[in-house]
Structure 1
Amino acid sequence: MKRLHRLHLTAPLALAALAVWLLLTLGGQWLQAGSGQHALADAAGGGIGVGWLLAAGFAAIVALASRDRRAAGLFAPAPMKSARLVWLPLLYALLMLLVAWADGWPARGVLLLVACNTALVALSEELMFRAVLLQGFLDRFAIWPAVFLSSVVFGAVHAANGFASGDAGAALVQSVSAFLQGLAYSAIRLRTRSIWPMVLVHGLWDFSLMSSMLSATSGGDDSVLPYAALFAVLPMCLYGLYLMRAVRGHAMPGMAAPAT
């Protein structure tokens, strides 16, 4: 039986995949907006996001079709070495969750929907940006330009969330926040050689942010949350830059060995 031809993740191919991924993701959000849900937090707590589900499935198909799935970060990380790299951002995300719930939390059913949707978003975005897009950029560029460019695209895509709600200021803040997060997430993904640790951290971070936004909206005080989130991601970004402090060209120092 003839072996299936696998994809070589180049920069043009990764950008083409990103375009399809955006159509699926934003298309689902626009459909929800048409039914009266304009805020991202409301969409996360109002039902399973079909667009997020389709986008996650598409990103998984592209990543799994890669010629080198290990290089794309689809394999499990080496547990002990990766734990030393991930414990700090994981602890930070847990602390953010405690802060988000300090003044209460939404209803249990809403929290379950938010948890499902933020898990989908984390899986979808890590597959698309830290597996497919980052690997495509690494095929053409050295590590620093690849990480920077993938993080810029990650930030630009998140600006759409703010524009969908008609708040240009929130769009800009969310874009900058996502760019800073992208730097940290990319650094940890490269050091662990796996996207899975950051799927966990990313999902927990989004869950804390979305649940706090829902709580604040119900209390009529959500105006400072985007700005608070911007300052909250700065320590994560600095940690990512620290992990990449000795990067030279295409070499990533201290890379964890892949799991066997």
Structure 2
Amino acid sequence: MKRLHLSAPLALAALAVWLVLTFGGQWLQSGIRQHSLADAAGGGIGVGWLLAAAFAAVVALASHNRRAVGLLAPAPMKSARLVWLPLLYAVLMLLVAWADGWPARGVLVVVACNTALVALSEELMFRAVLLQGFLDRFAIWPAVFMSSAVFGAVHAANGIASGDAGAALVQSASAFLQGLAYAAIRLRTRSIWPMVLVHGLWDFSLMSSMLSASPDKQNSVLPYAALFAVLPMCLYGLYLMRALRGHAAPVSAPQLT
């Protein structure tokens, strides 16, 4: 199989296909009725998320440099400790979700599967394929900001499904700020896997907490608490990026000072 050179145009083309699979699959599965993300996450395995994750994995695996794309383990392995702040927030959110009360066990399993698929799919698409495509043309800082901006813009599309455009815009801004931190950690660790774990825990905590809340969703404080975690994570990501220059990640992750 011929290896792909992930240029910016190729990465954007892959993103277009990924969007069709993600949203097209969900719309075909659930119809055109409006529904929340939590309802979609707990209503059955998302075909769109599964197809999009598989597609992103194929594109990333076809890259000529899997280390550059972030498919290998953190290098050096001790750089994985840089994930401590977003992981701390994700664990705290998981504890809050547990305190809210879990939904039914069957629903919880479905939510776990779907949030794992979403985390894998989005990290492969945005922090592996798209970020590497932008790095092929732009310096690190512009590439990180552009990939994070696209990550945020894509989340605005959730307003189409939920019917709540205001909430979708808040989610879009939140996703942009998170994306900066996620991209910084991905570059410093040279791997997407630490953030796949954090991303999955984060989404699982949010969705399970929202599903266990009352129908008016007033019992779950987690979506609001999560917003307060985003800005410190963004600032942490910018702090990590201070050591990054040029068009590629360093050979080994610099130590925190």
TM > 0.5 between the two? Answer: yes
**In 1, Cα distance between the equivalents of 2:165 and 2:54?**
30
Task: Tell me which of 10, 20, 33 is aligned to 1:13.
Answer: 10
Aligned to 1:142: 139
Matched, 1:240 2:237: yes
Aligned to 1:75: 72
**In 1, Cα distance between the equivalents of 2:231 and 2:193?**
22
Q: Which ranges of structure 1 fall in alignment gaps of 5 or more residues?
A: none
Per-residue displacement from partner, 1:66-88 (whole Å, max 9, x unpaired)?
11111000111136422321233
Equivalent residue letter for 1:250: H
Q: How is 1:48-67 mapped onto 2 (pairs within 5 angstroms)? A: 48-67=45-64
**In 2, Cα distance between the equivalents of 1:208 and 1:43?**
15
CA shift in 2, pair 1:7/1:188, >3 Å: same
**In 2, Cα distance between the equivalents of 1:168 and 1:80?**
41
Per-residue displacement from partner, 1:76-132 (whole Å, max 9, x unpaired)?
113642232123321221011111222212111111100000000000000000010
Normalising to structure 1: TM-score of the pair?
0.91
Matched, 1:31 2:31: no
Aligned to 1:129: 126
Aligned to 2:97: 100
Per-residue displacement from partner, 1:21-55 (whole Å, max 9, x unpaired)?
00000012212441756111111101100100000
Q: Tell me if structure 2 keeps the 8 A contact 1:174–1:226.
A: no
Q: Tell me if structure 2 keeps the 8 A contact 1:191–1:254.
A: no
Say which SS state the counterpart of residue 67 (structure 2) adopts.
coil
Task: Tell me which of 153, 159, 165 is aligned to 2:162.
Answer: 165
**In 2, Cα distance between the equivalents of 1:33 and 1:215?**
21
Equivalent residue letter for 1:52: W
Matched, 1:215 2:217: no
Per-residue displacement from partner, 1:121-159 (whole Å, max 9, x unpaired)?
000000000010000000000000000000000000011
Moved more, 131-140 or 97-106: 97-106
Q: Which ranges of structure 2 fall in alignment gaps of 5 or more residues?
A: none
Equivalent residue letter for 2:146: L
Deviation at 1:219, TM superposition (A): 5.9
Moved more, 66-75 or 244-253: 244-253
Corresponding pairs, count: 254
Q: Tell me if structure 1 keeps the 8 A contact 2:188–2:253.
A: yes
Say which SS state the counterpart of residue 213 (structure 2) adopts.
helix
Q: Tell me if structure 1 keeps the 8 A contact 2:52–2:121.
A: yes
Equivalent residue letter for 1:247: L
Q: Calculate the aligned-residue CA RMSD, in Å.
A: 2.1
